[in-house]
A = this chain, B = another copy of it.
């Protein structure tokens, strides 16, 4: 739509620098085997003319785009309201920028757009993809495999065939630690507000709760969706079903904050009457809730950083300590440890 001046060509740069086209091309693609004095002359000409290399042509030679797609399997409205995604993107952005790779975030309005995302991935626009917030019945993973680009997933994918490469937190272990802490506090009616059970993170946290609470009263488990409004609904349901509940392990901090509001409304004191534990240790959420939230900390920004590093540099780039923490050993998953952070709520 803008009227633009004609784009400066490789030829123009060559003429200005007094070198051949091939020399300009070599400098633009890294400068290997070109004398420093010529590199300098070409760089000056590039700057003076405002030359932007034709990446398409460059990609034909190098087979690289220096760009990585990020796909979040949620509508853009969710991406911009749940701080989890901003944190994971922050880690990814820092790591990609450190390697001069462009972060290409492919936003969607919802699941109906995933076929279009897969077409973009298949179109030769990026060197790989980082994909997170998968849902069990979503065709996205299959579509992405069909697109044939190297992919690292955030969160354990649920399929069994192949060995998808992923980074995840120890959701099950973290959940166990939270529930054991509630048991140690002497609580006996310990409830769980689940996350969205079409995501493995929610399933794994529920499994961790069940590892500790064998033969639990099933009414103490209420299904929810990782949102504050969902946490409110679940807590109301729970108080109706089990008015004697004395502890709640919520699948994430946003849900826990919703539950805290409903407990306050109902006249119950936290932690005296009901102890509450969340999951994430989300910045600006867990510390600022009323009362401040005891929670299972996972380093979301670090997860993003590791996903990007795995994609760009492979498993060896993670260092020995990461592998030691991975109980699966030879598997393609990197599992990061969690920590229980104690504040006032439990």
Chain A interface residues toward B at CB < 8 A = 1-5, 7-8, 50-56, 58-59, 65-67, 76-77, 80-81, 86, 89-90, 93-94, 97, 100, 102-109, 113, 116-120, 122-125, 128, 142-143, 145-148, 150-152, 162-165, 310-311, 314, 332
- Beta-carbon contact of B80 and A4 below 8 Å: no
- Beta-carbon contact of B4 and A145 below 8 Å: yes
- Beta-carbon contact of A146 and B109 below 8 Å: no
- Beta-carbon contact of B89 and A76 below 8 Å: yes
A104 partner, pick from B1, B56, B106, B122, beta carbons under 8 A: B106
**Chain B, residue nearest A53 (CB):** B119
Known: A54-B123, A102-B113. 8 other contacts (CB 8 A): A1-B152, A53-B119, A58-B123, A76-B90, A80-B90, A102-B106, A102-B119, A103-B107
Docked Cα-Cα span, A318 to B124, in Å, equals: 33
Residues in B with CB closer than 8 Å to A120 are 55, 65, 67, 102, 104
Residues in B with CB closer than 8 Å to A125 are 55, 65, 67, 123, 125
Docked Cα-Cα span, A4 to B141, in Å, equals: 11
Closest Cβ of chain B: how far from A87's Cβ, in Å?
9
**Chain B, residue nearest A105 (CB):** B105
Chain A binding surface, main DSSP class: mixed
User: 4 closest Cβ contacts across the A-B interface?
Assistant: A55-B123, A56-B124, A80-B86, A1-B165
A310 partner, pick from B1, B55, B102, B103, beta carbons under 8 A: B1
Docked Cα-Cα span, A240 to B150, in Å, equals: 58
**Chain B, residue nearest A86 (CB):** B80
**Chain B, residue nearest A151 (CB):** B2
- Beta-carbon contact of A123 and B80 below 8 Å: no
- Beta-carbon contact of B97 and A5 below 8 Å: no
Docked Cα-Cα span, A93 to B109, in Å, equals: 7
Docked Cα-Cα span, A81 to B128, in Å, equals: 27
A89 partner, pick from B5, B50, B107, beta carbons under 8 A: B107
Residues in B with CB closer than 8 Å to A55 are 119-120, 122-125
Docked Cα-Cα span, A294 to B327, in Å, equals: 57
A1 partner, pick from B52, B142, B151, beta carbons under 8 A: B151
Residues in B with CB closer than 8 Å to A163 are 2-3
Closest Cβ of chain B: how far from A178's Cβ, in Å?
28
- Beta-carbon contact of A145 and B2 below 8 Å: yes
Closest Cβ of chain B: how far from A324's Cβ, in Å?
21
Using known A-B contacts A65-B123, A113-B97, determine if residue A165 contacts B2 with beta carbons closer than 8 Å: yes
Closest Cβ of chain B: how far from A283's Cβ, in Å?
11
- Beta-carbon contact of B1 and A123 below 8 Å: no
- Beta-carbon contact of B162 and A2 below 8 Å: yes
- Beta-carbon contact of A4 and B162 below 8 Å: yes
Using known A-B contacts A3-B163, A103-B107, determine if residue A146 contacts B52 with beta carbons closer than 8 Å: yes
Docked Cα-Cα span, A109 to B97, in Å, equals: 7
Residues in B with CB closer than 8 Å to A52 are 118-119, 122, 143, 146-148
**Chain B, residue nearest A94 (CB):** B109
Closest Cβ of chain B: how far from A257's Cβ, in Å?
16
